[in-house]
Structure 1
Amino acid sequence: MSHTARQKDKLIARVRRIKGQLEGIERALETDAACIEVLRQIASVRGAVGGLTVEVMEDHLREHVLEATDDAGRRHGGEEMIEVIRSYMK
């Protein structure tokens, strides 16, 4: 069982909160809310997505690098993380 499966309910709850925040941005735009309010909501979504990303990255590092059963598994987990970090930083 992967670490995301063990924490599935928690992660899905976070994603649903983010979805609600995005819908809030959509509503704000539809109702011509003040731009500063839209920007605040966007910043909140960005922070929430960043927090979710960090949590999944940390879980990946713990599961597939720190707790890997052999050097090959550890190397593979580390290489996967490098790919994700490179993609994330673009």
Structure 2
Amino acid sequence: MPNSPEDRRKAVARVRRIRGQAEALERALEAGDDCAPILQQLAAMRGAVNGLMAEVMAAHIRDELAAPDDPEALARDLTALVRSYLR
């Protein structure tokens, strides 16, 4: 979780934009819109979620893993973190 108030504010703003995109997607699906705009909306949502994940991951690395006592453990932790979220 982002620790600074500014990072937290940015993360919450991203979530709100994603929510708006999801609501627009729901309306488009209910209305029976064409596939192309729906696919475009899905791609935009995926990009927004990926951006949010990158920000939260960067905050986690910066705040939780920044000053390791054991560089090998840090490498294992970072590798596990990246693998778990890039599936």
TM-score by length of 1: 0.77
Q: Which residue of 1 aligns with 2:69?
A: 71
The 2-side partners of 1:65 and 1:24 are apart by 37
Residues 31-84 of structure 1: CA distance to partner in whole angstroms, max 9, x if unpaired? Answer: 011100000000000000011111111122222233x2x515x936961x4333
Q: Is the 8 A contact 1:61 1:78 kept in 2?
A: no
1:83 matched to 2:80? The reply is yes
Q: How does 1:1-90 map to 2 (within 5 A)?
A: 4-6=2-4, 7-66=7-66, 68=67, 70-72=68-70, 75=73, 79=77, 81-90=78-87
Structure 1, gaps ≥5 residues long: none
Secondary structure class of the residue paired with 1:4 = coil
Give the 3 Å change call, closer, same or farther, for CA 22–16 of structure 1 in structure 2: same
Equivalenced residues, count: 85
Highest RCO, 1 vs 2 (Cα 8 Å, sep ≥ 6) = 2
Question: Over the residues paired in the alignment, what is the CA RMSD in angstroms?
Answer: 2.4
For the residue of structure 2 that corresponds to 1:28, the secondary structure is helix
Aligned in 2, Cα 1:63/1:78: closer, same or farther, shift over 3 Å?
farther
Instruction: Compute the TM-score of the two structures, normalised by the length of structure 2.
Output: 0.79
Q: Percent identity?
A: 42
Aligned-partner Cα distance in 2 for 1:54–1:29: 28
Indicate conservation of the 8 Å contact 1:22/1:45, yes or no.
yes
